[in-house]
């Protein structure tokens, strides 16, 4: 299992004075291609990575949740029967998952439809600040220690990793079977309706359903998935620009509204159902911004399906070209790149070991990724970091990553 070593168990005992019952690991993710297509019911190609959120936890007999963050050196708690949305930072992700599970009355892993099944509309309201008593007694309180090494705000889905870890823990404490797909729908709803970020389903599914050595092709309408192997002898390098964006306060929600507008003007339910020929016919009647947003989504869906095909054939060079085209579309049509992301992608492509590079995640800062010849990982990372420092004056974090398994749990006694 991709579970952190025993020191996490020891830290739980130090803090709470008793041994934990479960350890949970939930990975972050990078998206190889297919950006801003998930909430348009399109196609995405993410992979879970070997950076993760870890929880060590033990149940409580009364419905109180207490979590101590080792990385932040702070604690937070709440009561399951009196959930209050207080904008209190990281603990709100636990509350949101608890609220969604309780409001639906079904614990994680007990059926595919208990969280609504489809993404919320772009302007879905946040819940009331105080939710009141939970209608379901299924959730069990717990004590937990939390740690992780998924960079915050870098576009690697630290929030989805935390949400999926919470859902996995609630399932483990309730002795419920685990199904990551309905759990991902729970966590998406928690982020949409409790946290207030109108994300699609990609991040949670990627964190929950990853497989070692593979990316995950997701049809975000049907939730049909396919594990696709990375081309042989390649590596994915995460290129952290050392810049950050606040996702809930960024233009992410604005882009989602613009896609909704573009779909209405094209006469399709989501942009997934439009094509470039249709867009060209109606371009003169569309708002110029909506037209650019639609062009990105439509072309990005096509690139993603083509990427799956070239990966099946092991064609790393063709995959790299598609990644480069994706970055240009995100920069020019979707306008979610940044000078630092553009500089990082250019620095990566300048190295002969690089097949292609693009921004990943919501944009406006955070990370890019590069597909490279694995044998040249060390010289690539050194040269790219040096070039980026010269270009921007910023000190990047660059690390080679591998596709990893999805969210997991283990009983401490079984380790």
Q: Which residues pair with 218 in a beta bridge?
A: 44, 225
Residue 368 tokens read as 């890019």
Candidate list 82, 175, 179, 203, residue with the active-site label = 203
d(CA 377, CA 371): 10
Tokens of 109: 């892993």
With contact defined as beta carbons under 8 Å apart, do 49 and 203 qualify? no
Please count the other Cβ atoms lying within 10 Å of the Cβ belonging to residue 330.
23
Per-residue HEC secondary structure of the chain comes to CCCCCCHHHHHHHHHHCCCCCEEEEEEEEEEEECCCCHHHCCEEEEEEEEEEEEEEEEECCCCEEEEEECCCCEEEEEECCCEECCCCCCHHHHHHHHHHHHHHCCCCCCCCCCCCCCCCCCCCCCCCCEEECCCCCCCCCEEEEEEECCCCCCCCCHHHHHHHHHHHHHHHHCCCCCCHHHHHHHHHHHHHHHHCCCCCCHHHHHHHHCCCCEEEEEECCCCCEEEEECCCCEEEEEEECCCCCCHHHCCHHHHHHHHHHHHHHHCCCCHHHCCHHHHHHHHHHCCHHHHHHHHHHHHHHHHHHHHHHHHHCCCHHHHHHHHHHHHHHHHHCCCCCCHHHHHHHHHHHCCCCEEEEEECCCCCCCEEEEEEEHHHHHHHHHHHHHHHHHHHCCCCEEEEECECCCCEEEEHHHC
- Give, in order, the Cα–Cα distances in Å from 355 to each of 227, 244, 401: 21, 26, 16
| Whether 233 is catalytic | no
- Which residues are catalytic, by number? 203
């Amino acid at each position: 299992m991709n579970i952190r070593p025993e020191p996490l168990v020891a830290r739980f005992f130090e803090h709470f004075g008793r041994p934990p019952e479960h350890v949970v690991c939930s990975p972050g993710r990078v998206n190889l291609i297919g950006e801003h297509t998930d909430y348009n019911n399109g196609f995405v190609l993410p992979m879970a990575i070997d950076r993760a959120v870890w929880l060590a936890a033990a149940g409580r007999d009364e419905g109180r949740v207490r979590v101590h963050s080792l990385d932040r050196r702070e604690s937070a708690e709440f009561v399951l029967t009196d959930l209050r949305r207080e904008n209190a930072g990281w603990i709100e992700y636990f509350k949101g998952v608890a609220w969604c599970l309780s409001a639906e009355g079904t614990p994680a892993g007990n059926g595919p439809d208990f969280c609504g099944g489809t993404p919320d509309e772009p302007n879905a309201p946040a819940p009331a600040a105080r939710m009141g008593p939970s209608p379901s007694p299924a959730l069990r309180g717990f004590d937990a220690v939390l740690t992780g090494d998924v960079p915050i705000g870098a576009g690697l889905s630290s929030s989805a990793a935390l949400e999926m870890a919470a859902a996995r823990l609630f399932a483990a404490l309730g002795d419920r079977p685990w199904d990551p797909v309905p759990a991902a729908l729970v966590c998406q709803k928690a982020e949409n309706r409790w946290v207030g970020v109108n994300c699609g389903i990609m991040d949670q599914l990627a964190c929950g359903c990853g497989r070692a050595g593979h990316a995950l092709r997701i049809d975000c309408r049907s939730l049909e998935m396919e594990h696709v192997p990375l081309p042989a002898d390649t590596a994915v390098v995460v290129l952290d620009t050392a810049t950050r964006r606040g996702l809930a306060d960024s233009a992410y929600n604005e882009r989602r509204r613009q896609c909704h507008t573009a779909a209405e003007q094209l006469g399709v339910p989501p942009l997934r159902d439009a094509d470039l020929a249709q867009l060209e016919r109606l371009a003169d009647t569309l708002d110029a911004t909506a037209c650019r947003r639609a062009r990105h989504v439509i072309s990005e869906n096509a690139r993603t399906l083509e990427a799956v095909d070239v990966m099946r054939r092991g064609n790393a060079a063709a995959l790299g070209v598609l990644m480069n085209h994706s970055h240009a579309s995100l920069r020019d049509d979707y306008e979610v790149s940044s000078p630092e992301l553009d500089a990082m992608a250019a620095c990566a492509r300048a190295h002969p070991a690089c097949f292609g590079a693009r921004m990943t995640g919501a944009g406006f800062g955070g990370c890019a990724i590069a597909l490279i010849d694995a044998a040249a990982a060390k010289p690539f990372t050194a040269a790219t970091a040096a070039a980026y420092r010269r270009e921007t004056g910023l000190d990047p974090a660059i690390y080679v990553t591998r596709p990893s398994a999805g969210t997991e749990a283990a009983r401490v006694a079984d380790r």
